[in-house]
């Protein structure tokens, strides 16, 4: 695979202060900042990792965005699930290639593209048509149009029921996931996994109560904290800032009977 940038690719430009800018490359295009502008034609045809300079001489490192980079910089309306939670969701929900997954609360598509990249076949339930459109566009922008063959969004309310059956996994990013538990019992096959992302501990409590009264078992709730470190020569210490609470991840398995 060629690592040269082509027209239509996305490039991540990183300045000397490590600020990141997502650019959709097009012939004749320009990226503008306080440091002047960079011609897209400088980047098109260059190898990944090249350094380009603005009209004022400021250098920018040009690389392809990772999934985490794209999630944080992509167009969005709803708040996205952050990369620090997306990885654990794949493990806790046990997402595998070919898994039939229902995702509800699609938002801007950050979780959708993470599930699709892991090889799942995803059906999304989203109550807002504008969010559904943005999610499709973001998935196609990062994963390519071919990913849409494994991605279908229905504009509907998951609280009112799930038409699908024999699902492997259900992943929720909804204000009241406990309303979905009774529907998930019908939609999942025995052994299937339900996972919900919830910002509030009160939401966790209500969800766990609903799970305790259902055929789900092996429930667990975790919170993922991410702390980076400052490393400069012999000066090594935790950074003063860290990404602490974003949400709780609650998962459980459906048992037969």
Lookup: tokens for 230: 């400052």
Q: What share of the chain is helix, strand, coil (3-state, %, to 5)?
A: 30, 35, 35
Indicate the pTM of the whole model. Answer: 0.89
Residue 169 CB contacts under 8 Å (≥ 6 apart), including other chains: 93, 94, 95, 99, 100, 101, 102, 120, 188, 192, 193, 194, 195
Per-residue pLDDT of the chain (257 residues; tens, 9 = 90+): 568 999 999 999 999 999 999 999 999 999 999 889 999 999 999 999 999 999 999 999 999 999 999 998 888 777 789 999 999 999 999 999 999 999 999 999 999 999 999 999 999 999 999 999 999 999 999 999 999 999 999 999 999 999 999 999 999 999 999 999 999 999 999 999 999 999 999 999 999 999 999 999 999 999 999 999 999 999 999 998 888 899 999 999 999 76
């Amino acid at each position: 695979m060629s690592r040269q940038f082509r027209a239509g690719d996305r490039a991540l430009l990183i300045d000397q202060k490590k600020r990141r800018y997502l650019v959709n490359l097009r012939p004749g295009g320009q990226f503008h900042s306080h440091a002047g502008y960079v011609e897209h034609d400088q980047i098109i045809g260059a190898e990944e990792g090249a350094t380009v300079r603005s009209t004022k001489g400021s250098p920018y490192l040009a690389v392809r965005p990772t999934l985490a980079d794209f999630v944080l910089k992509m167009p969005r309306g709803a708040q996205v699930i952050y990369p620090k939670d997306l990885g654990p969701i794949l493990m806790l929900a046990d997402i595998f290639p070919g898994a039939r997954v229902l995702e509800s609360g699609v938002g801007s598509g950050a979780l959708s593209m993470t599930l699709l990249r892991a090889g799942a076949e995803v059906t999304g339930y989203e109550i807002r048509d504008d969010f559904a459109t943005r999610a499709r566009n973001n998935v196609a922008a990062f994963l390519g149009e071919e990913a849409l063959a494994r991605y279908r969004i229905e504009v509907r309310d998951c609280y009112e029921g799930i038409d699908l059956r024999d699902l492997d996994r259900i992943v929720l990013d909804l204000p009241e996931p406990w309303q979905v538990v009774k529907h998930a019992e019908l939609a999942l096959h025995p052994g299937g996994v339900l996972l919900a992302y919830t910002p509030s501990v009160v939401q966790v409590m209500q969800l766990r109560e609903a799970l305790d009264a259902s055929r789900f078992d092996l429930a667990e709730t975790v919170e993922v904290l991410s702390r980076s470190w400052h490393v400069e020569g012999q000066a090594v210490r935790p950074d003063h800032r860290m990404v602490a609470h974003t949400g709780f991840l609650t998962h459980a398995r459906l048992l037969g009977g």
